[in-house]
Amino acid sequence: MTFARPDPLSALGTPSRIPSWASSVRAETFEDVAFFSGAALSHLHFVLEREEVPRALLRDRLALRAAEACVAFSGRPERAAELRDAIHLLRPGDLPGPAGETCLEWRRAAERPLSVKALARALPGIEPGQIAIWLDAGRGAPVTRAAMVLEAVQSDAPRAPALVLADAALAQALGWAHVVPLLAAGLKRADLRKQGDDLRLACHRALLTSAVEALRLAADLTRRAAHLEAVTPKLRAKAAGAAVEMLLTRDAVAPAALPLPDRAARRLCDRLVDLGAVRELTGRDTFRLYGV
């Protein structure tokens, strides 16, 4: 007797939907907000353990959202489209600019397994010893630890590294192998001026919002990744498998980055768009970027 392989969409459907009482009820007290954010993080933890979830792709897309928030906090105008261009269309010797560098910091922090060494590589200019000291500043429950690290770093470092390290502290406390960018996209600029219990409350609120959005994104990317894997056997290019693997792990890919000659890479991307497996992200006729 043979059994059909479970549909990853239906398998992911239930845990990806946070209970309505945790996402629709307006929490007023600190205890309620902390309870609801814990429920959202618990659901996200469960989803991140699922093999069918394209976790590297999810982290990379969340990193883009975090970078967009941090760039906005600094008063710069760049948004997701400009950030993608800044990092994916760089030529050898070009500099990404301040906004692009923020985006690169988030991507580097999320792509490697979490460690002080990896964070130092992601945040050039900050000594590993200083990173270790900041991460040790957090004590208590996961969100409390993240808030304490955020408060400690902000007095000495720019906001983007502070939020990267706060998410790193959260991941450490939750036992996650990688940084999952969550806090920046949920916080407001005014929240970054808060301290103590006020900052902890803001972090709980931010994580409730961001975790729910991350769950929705995980479900969407899982569906899209499953479709991309399903159409891969239809591709004739010799390096199509390697190209698909890149698309399954990165928010966006330029054809020139694929392990194919330029014309073959562009044809492959157009073929995948025709198959509904990837999207062209820029809306341009040239200098295009593609993503799941």
Measured CA to CA, the distance from residue 33 to residue 15 in angstroms comes to: 20
The residue among 283, 224, 292 whose CA lies nearest residue 252 is 292
What SS3 state is found at 226? helix
Alpha carbon 70 to its chain's center:
13
Q: pLDDT band for position 254 (50/70/90)?
A: very high
Task: State pLDDT tens for residues 151-195.
Answer: 999 988 877 799 999 999 999 999 999 999 999 999 999 999 999
Mention every residue, 6+ apart, whose C-beta is less than 8 A from residue 1: none
- Helix or strand (DSSP H, E) at 4: none
Query: Which residues, 6 or more positions from 82, have their beta carbon under 8 angstroms from its beta carbon?
Result: 99
- Residues 84 and 203 both lie in one domain: yes
Give the model confidence (pLDDT) of 97-129 as tens digits.
Answer: 999 999 999 999 999 999 999 999 999 989 999
d(CA 67, CA 77): 12
At 150, the amino acid letter reads: L
Alpha carbon of residue 87 to chain centroid: 15
217 and 239 together in one domain: no
Structure tokens at 35: 């309870």
User: In a 3-state reduction of DSSP, which class is residue 279?
Assistant: strand
pLDDT in tens, 276-292: 999 999 999 999 999 99
Q: Is residue 159 a part of any domain in this protein?
A: yes
Summarize the confidence of residues 139-151 as an average pLDDT: 96
Verify that 75 and 175 share a domain, yes or no.
Answer: yes
Residue 9's pLDDT is 43
Confidence of residue 19 (pLDDT cuts 50, 70, 90): low
At 28 the pLDDT is 74
- Does 142 share its domain with 272? no
Q: What is the pLDDT of residue 92?
A: 86
pLDDT at 2 exceeding the cut of 60: no
pLDDT digits (tens, 9 = 90+) for 225-236: 999 999 999 998
Provide mean pLDDT across the span 267-279: 97
pLDDT at 16: 56
Question: Do residues 169 and 268 both lie within one domain?
Answer: no
Residues 203 and 278 in one domain: no
Measured CA to CA, the distance from residue 8 to residue 12 in angstroms comes to 6
Shared domain for 187 and 73, answered yes or no, is: yes
Other CB atoms within 10 A of residue 1 CB: 2
3-state secondary structure labels for all residues of 50-114:
CCCCCHHHHHHHHHHHHHHHHHHHCCCCCCHHHHHHHHHCCCCCCCCHHHHHHHHHHHHHHHCCC
Residue 147 covered by a domain: yes
pTM above 0.85, yes or no: yes
pLDDT value for 14: 44
Is the same domain home to 191 and 277? no
Last-in-domain residue among 163, 191, 223: 223
Q: Show the domain range for 188.
A: 28-223
User: Is 5 a domain residue?
Assistant: no
Q: Is the same domain home to 102 and 207?
A: yes
Counting every residue written for the chain, the total comes to 292
Number of structural domains the chain divides into: 2
Same domain (yes/no): 35, 99: yes
Residue with tokens 């609120």: 205
Last residue of a domain, one of 201, 223, 245: 223
pLDDT averaged over every residue in the chain:
91
Residue 217: which H helix or E strand, with range?
A: helix 196-231
Please report, rounded to a whole number, the percentage of residues in the chain having pLDDT higher than 90: 85
Domain boundary among 198, 223, 248: 223
Judged against a pLDDT cut of 70, whether residue 95 lies above it is answered with yes
Question: How far apart (Å, rounded) are the C-alpha atoms in residues 281 and 288?
Answer: 7
